[in-house]
Structure 1
Amino acid sequence: MSLTNEITEKERAIIKKNYRQLLTSCNPMMEEQDVELIRKALNITVGSEQDLTRNEAGELKVIESLEVALIVVNELGLSRVAVIGALLYDAILEGTIVNEEIEKLFGSQVAIITRGLVKVGELYNKGTSIKNDNFRKLLLTFAEDIRVVLLIIANRLRTMRSLALYNDEDQQRISSEVGYLYAPMAHRLGLYNIKSEMEDLVMKFTNREMYSFIAKKLNETKRARDKYIKEFIQPLEDKLSQLGLQFEIKGRTKTIHSIYNKLKKQNTDFENVYDLFAIRVILESELEKEKAECWQVYSIVTDKYQPNPSRLRDWISVPKSNGYESLHTTVLGPEQKWVEVQIRTNRMNEVAEKGLAAHWKYKGQKGEKGMDEWLANVREILENPELNAVDFIDDFKLDLYDEEVFVFTPKGDLRRLKKGATLLDFAFEIHSEVGRKCVGGRINNKNVSIKYVLKNGDHVDIQTANNQEPKKDWLKVVVTSKAKSKLKQALRDIEFKEAEIGREMLVRRLKNWKFELTDQLLNQLVKKFAYKTVQDFMRAIAIDKIEFARIKDFITQSEKKDEENIEVEKERSAENFIASNDELPDDDVLMIDRSLTHVDYKLAKCCNPIFGDEIFGFVAAMGGIKIHRKSCPNAVDMQTKFGYRIVKADWTSGADTSYQATLKVTGVDDIGIVTNISQVISKEMKVKIRSMSIDSHEGVFEGTLTVFVDNTSSLATLIKKIKNVKGVYTVSRVGA
């Protein structure tokens, strides 16, 4: 490897260290000629032209490539083809080597991977967004070869690990993308460790305050947690050892992201969340004894600790489509705390941690079947030209985070569907025409409607009728992406035919009235009758929702008068917009991009930002800019779907304005507690209350308070004061 003097000594040491680690990691799974090919790929990457190539964070790309390759080997369990692809990625993007040379030097398999990676790189250079059709092409490239997906996931993971080196804007953009797409995709591919790490890192950069809070709490409670795990495990270890089983028992703390989800879902404090960890029993079993020994361990665990039958999950008898196998149960441990226990073998554990690659290693080509079916389904959705970008990504994501249900066809074939799938989903799974004409079915020889929710083990027989047509309310019945995509297409086909009939009727009637159907007239008609699209308007004519007499009356009116009315309406909307901002701070309180002045803005009601919050601006469709907190529940969605409408925003210093904040308070429903809270707010803190609503149920009250505060510091003090009121359980800010 040739390194120029432009590289620092520290960087030189990192390159050498990573290179040695890569060769060591690759050695057990590769032949000598494979290692030579890796050396060759690295020499191409580090060639004299590449020394100074750096990424957006200022890191040498060769270091990035080596670290991605290490993830590919150590955390994904992939071998030569994927490793070489990871090393050559930047070299081929920089034009150091072309794909034809790669095929000649490294073979066709490596060339297929690098070709896919180049396509992905080109699409990202175009500023790919899910509002852009390039995003569809990006995922179609993914769907051509699963290793392209795995390599991009490895690249994104490595980027997230070094995200602190990037600027704040890039941190938000990359975090939003990873949280929205790549973490769910890692989950779908069985890469649970990577998925969990991605989610934690996304939270670290998008919700720093809560991330730090939970991390600090976990650190403070570590000693007590370790003691509890040891006490829980000890009797199980003794019993398993007596039976002569080879095993390892681990206590695993749950991720910060999953704990945060529990806090939100249960609306409770950290101290009240008991299931902060899971116990994992890993057996050293022979393949033919795996199932029996796992159930034997389950019996021992549930003999010692009382199980919750509703929380038993058997993914050993019927594994997930990504190869995941494990037995999960939740038991009541010491101190009456619920503890999750996972039981699996070493083989199952490797599959759980390394996903598809480990599954194929043990199962051979058979293991690819489930993923091939998923990729085929993805391709089917992607190649539907009628599906708009937002509908497409919503349908695509349905197939990422999923639990499964297993049912049988009349011939006894096993089919996997998303948990919660209905009979109608199953009909579309069989064939789109079967779905379109479905009128019901028979489950285990009993008649059921299209809304029937499938259960594991159901035998399903679909009934159809030639005169049946899809209906719009069917969209509320189906839950799988395939069914939604096919159903939307069927409905569009019907609507298109109806719209064509409506157009013919309108043209014929206009001709009788001596009028011509122009684009301008058509747009005016659509506006006048309040339809979203021309097609909707034409359909309304076809199904007699609009009387032709009304259309004629409108056409005979003056177009000028119509345009004047539209202008008046626009002015009225503008006046309403300005009027709605009466209580907002003056223009000098916020700086938008530090260069814009006299910009119409208002504070978003979904998160109610106040002075001191980290904020951003979002250009609204009706004009003006809405200011959101970076921790706003809608932030990720806006960043991902409408990144081009995001504007930097910051507070000016020394603002002297009151901001609206909403608090949720729970506590004992005692006489006087509401009065005590009000006194703390208005008298002790001198804070103005805008509104207060209180509900009580079974001795507990829940209240919503809207107050005006100066900044985040005064809000934090107020929350602390209210928490100190006797009888108050929790105080939390709404819209976090």
Structure 2
Amino acid sequence: MNRQFDDLLEKLKAQDPSTNEKLVRDAYDFSMKAHGSQLRASGDPYFTHPLAVSQILTDLRMDHQSVITGFLHDTIEDTLVSFEEIKERFGPDIAHLVDGVTKLSQLELQSEHTKQAENFRKLVLAMSSDIRVLIIKLADRLHNMRTLHYITSDEKKRRISRETMDIYAPLAERMGMKKLKDELEDIAFSYLNPEARESLQSRLNFLYENADYTVEAIIEDIMRALKEHHMTAVVNGRQKTPYSIWHKMQHKRIAFEQLSDIMAFRIVVNSIAECYQALGALHNQYLVLPGRFKDYISTPKPNGYQSLHTGLIGPFNSRIEIQIRTKEMHSIAEYGIAAHWQYKQDFSHDGKQYAWLRGLLDILEQTTNPEEFMEHTRLEMFQDQVFCFTPKGDLISLPRGATSIDFAYAVHSAIGDHATAVKINGRLMPLRTVLNNGDQVDIVTSKTQNPSPTWERFVVTGKARSRIRKFVRLLQRDQFSNLGKSIVQKAFNHENAEFTEKGMERVARHFKYQHIDDLYAAVGQGIHTPREVLQIALPDFKTGQKPSLEEELTKKKLQSSINKDKDSSISIKGLISGMAVHFSGCCHPLPGDKIVGIVKTGKGVAIHTTDCDVVKTFKETDRLLDLSWGDYLTPDDKFVGRLKATFINKQGSLATFSTVISKQNGNIVNLKITNRTLHFWDLILDVEVKNVEHINSIIASLRTLPITNFIDRM
């Protein structure tokens, strides 16, 4: 055990001359005594784990403070050692690192799924103050995965492996720590899908045993090609892990035989200029696989990775991948963020390598639910990248499939919130347009614009989705609250009873709401009916026999006509469709129609016309609302009206129909041919209009056509 520590210390001092050797030895001794006779699941002394974690951190070329934290990271959680004791002996920096790692494990939540999500949320918070917390946690997870076979429960092994695959491997990739990421994924894969991994490993073994060439022979031939162009370089080769092969087969939907990069070779040169020189030499020597060249030097990955990638039909007609990079690029490719200590670069949170972390923190601000946060961050981490440019030339990296709205939120949250239009490469395009590599994107904004609930259907980044959801959630609550208050007030008017805020506070306390706005929102959502509120607010309120639907409607309309200044109908003015109210697709109500609302539990109010069949058969009169449009309309408001038509089947008939609708300022949003014969077509058309008068005007115009056999609203 002492020999292992001595080797670690020598390696650490060689990498970090400023290492405090005495402090490292003290941490080693302190941790070993603190863990005492504790044992691991393998039966080994528990201290073998912190020692192994510190060895991993040393191999990652981390500073001595991180290595010391590796020794101490389990002492607060698993021994009698306190935070104050570590702070006193090893200083505040190391104490806070140990505390950051410790807090990630101290979670006692009900479900494993929630625990995983909350764990990830705490991890993001911890690493935002010091990124080394995450690196230490990754080293801790790597050693736990290496010793996972000692755990007897298969279910526990799969759960830990799934958590590793979902959380820690993607984070390692975002940190640029590819070697660590590959090992985490491959070990997890062996427990999650052992049959597939064994099959792939067998095929890889067979491939190498029966090949007409060796990796060494390919390296020798590549070096010969470089020497012919007067270049010296370090060349090495590796085979991909079974999981990385499996992932590519799944993602690209290709067979094992179609893979061109089962073998990857790295060429390390002295300068960026030599990278491109080496690329030219290899392309001159070997056949190039089309579509396989990628320049990550001019456009680095978000984690800082830089290399030239190319696919070749290489020596011995082998399909290989070549990665060309400088020594510094190679170190960053191998060790990721950890390599920055070696190069003594400015390691501030303002660097580009932290853009993804700032993105996660921004999502965290918008999301209170841990599981929702994890959903959004998975979107951020699991997808390939596309690179787009602002009009000023700033590079924005986004997940593949990202839209203009995702781009807007990536530039700044305020730009996303107020986006109204987009110009892509100088051309006006829809906001839902999917972006491609190299697009120049110019977002047009307006102070009066707000996020639309429909945006959530097509955005792909977690930041955009969390921001939209937060806005919708807040606006929807306001809508429910305003609607609920109107419903309650009308219920009191209906009973000729006095409505007071004080009385509502008593009702809110009865239903255990902290504020009356919460009560109003619950009524607006349909969680409580006005009758339930009246029963609590008015002690003398008689529940009695519920009137029939016909009696209820008649009573409401009669009261409305008798007492105009005390109209019992509820105005839907100011309520946005898709929030607290939504227009039913069965009858497509339009301004000008007489309307009623049906309160659906948890969903708000569905608006129907009074003669809709759904309303006629509805039996719960408590959930029926007499509605009015109020001065609902603005010049830009559009509604969908549905038409049923039969017209003569002749050339140009459909064009004539659509032209008439267009001339009447209508817009066809959907069209369905329900029947077609030799002489007639039956159609259902959904048309955007302003109100009943507008759609009636369209119907009248269509009826004048000689081709029209029948047309009317459905």
TM-score (ref. length: structure 1): 0.65
Gap change, CA 1:329 and 1:179, over 3 Å in 2: same
1:436 matched to which residue of 2? 417
1:297 matched to which residue of 2? 278
CA offset at residue 344 of structure 1? 1.4
1:20 matched to which residue of 2? 6
- For the pair 1:483 / 2:452, whether they are aligned, the reply is no
- For the pair 1:492 / 2:473, whether they are aligned, the reply is yes
CA offset at residue 187 of structure 1? 1.0
CA offset at residue 175 of structure 1? 0.9
Cα contact 1:499–1:538 (8 A) shared by 2: no
- Please give the secondary structure, in 1, of the residue aligned with 2:74: helix
- For the pair 1:247 / 2:233, whether they are aligned, the reply is yes
Cα contact 2:390–2:440 (8 A) shared by 1: yes
Higher relative contact order (Cα pairs below 8 Å, separated by 6+ residues): 1
CA offset at residue 58 of structure 1? 3.6
Gap change, CA 1:499 and 1:125, over 3 Å in 2: closer
Gap change, CA 1:432 and 1:347, over 3 Å in 2: closer
Paired residue for 2:396, among 401, 415, 432? 415
Gap change, CA 1:124 and 1:245, over 3 Å in 2: farther
Cα contact 2:240–2:264 (8 A) shared by 1: no
1:150 matched to which residue of 2? 135
CA offset at residue 477 of structure 1? 2.8
Paired residue for 1:372, among 351, 354, 366? 354
- Please give the secondary structure, in 1, of the residue aligned with 2:300: coil
RMSD: 3.4
Q: What is the count of residue pairs matched by the alignment? A: 530
Query: Percent sequence identity over matched residues?
Result: 30
Which aligned pairs between 1:537-556 and structure 2 lie closer than 5 A? 537=600, 544=607, 553-555=619-621
Cα contact 1:189–1:355 (8 A) shared by 2: yes
Which aligned pairs between 1:329-348 and structure 2 lie closer than 5 A? 329-333=310-314, 338-348=319-329
Gap change, CA 1:364 and 1:263, over 3 Å in 2: closer
- Please give the secondary structure, in 2, of the residue aligned with 1:227: coil
Gap change, CA 1:312 and 1:132, over 3 Å in 2: closer
- For the pair 1:468 / 2:415, whether they are aligned, the reply is no
CA offset at residue 53 of structure 1? 1.4
Question: Structure 1 counterpart of 2:620, which letter?
Answer: F
Question: Structure 1 counterpart of 2:354, which letter?
Answer: D
1:115 matched to which residue of 2? 99
Gap change, CA 1:464 and 1:264, over 3 Å in 2: closer
Cα contact 1:359–1:367 (8 A) shared by 2: no
Paired residue for 1:94, among 57, 78, 82? 78
- For the pair 1:53 / 2:34, whether they are aligned, the reply is no
Question: Structure 1 counterpart of 2:29, which letter?
Answer: N
Gaps of 5+ in 2: 498-503, 512-521, 531-577, 582-598, 624-714
232-241 or 546-555, larger mean C-alpha shift: 546-555
- Please give the secondary structure, in 1, of the residue aligned with 2:73: helix
Gap change, CA 1:125 and 1:553, over 3 Å in 2: closer
Which aligned pairs between 1:228-267 and structure 2 lie closer than 5 A? 229-230=215-216, 232-264=218-250
Gap change, CA 1:124 and 1:204, over 3 Å in 2: farther
- Please give the secondary structure, in 1, of the residue aligned with 2:231: coil
Separation in structure 2 between the aligned mates of residue 33 and residue 192 of structure 1, nearest angstrom: 26
Deviations 1:557-605 (A, max 9, x none): 9xxxxxxxxxxxxxxxxxxxxxxxxxxxxxxxxxxxxxxxxxxxxxxxx
Separation in structure 2 between the aligned mates of residue 390 and residue 307 of structure 1, nearest angstrom: 45
Deviations 1:100-133 (A, max 9, x none): 3323332332122112012112127987643677
Question: Structure 1 counterpart of 2:77, which letter?
Answer: L
CA offset at residue 158 of structure 1? 0.5
CA offset at residue 254 of structure 1? 1.1
CA offset at residue 380 of structure 1? 2.0
Separation in structure 1 between the aligned mates of residue 384 and residue 29 of structure 2, nearest angstrom: 44
CA offset at residue 255 of structure 1? 0.8
Cα contact 2:269–2:327 (8 A) shared by 1: yes
Which aligned pairs between 1:520-599 and structure 2 lie closer than 5 A? 522-523=526-527, 537=600, 544=607, 553-555=619-621
Cα contact 1:189–1:322 (8 A) shared by 2: yes
CA offset at residue 343 of structure 1? 1.0
Which aligned pairs between 1:667-686 and structure 2 lie closer than 5 A? none
Cα contact 1:236–1:300 (8 A) shared by 2: no
Separation in structure 2 between the aligned mates of residue 171 and residue 539 of structure 1, nearest angstrom: 39
Question: Structure 2 counterpart of 1:333, which letter?
Answer: G
1:673 matched to which residue of 2? none
Paired residue for 2:170, among 184, 188, 208? 184
- For the pair 1:508 / 2:489, whether they are aligned, the reply is yes
Gap change, CA 1:94 and 1:389, over 3 Å in 2: closer
Separation in structure 2 between the aligned mates of residue 327 and residue 96 of structure 1, nearest angstrom: 51
1:446 matched to which residue of 2? 427
Separation in structure 2 between the aligned mates of residue 463 and residue 268 of structure 1, nearest angstrom: 41
Gap change, CA 1:82 and 1:65, over 3 Å in 2: same
Larger radius of gyration: 2
- Please give the secondary structure, in 1, of the residue aligned with 2:416: helix
Which aligned pairs between 1:302-341 and structure 2 lie closer than 5 A? 302-333=283-314, 338-341=319-322
Paired residue for 1:278, among 260, 263, 267? 263
- Please give the secondary structure, in 2, of the residue aligned with 1:122: coil
237-246 or 170-179, larger mean C-alpha shift: 237-246
CA offset at residue 411 of structure 1? 4.0
1:383 matched to which residue of 2? 365
2:518 matched to which residue of 1? none
Cα contact 1:294–1:344 (8 A) shared by 2: yes
Separation in structure 1 between the aligned mates of residue 126 and residue 112 of structure 2, nearest angstrom: 13
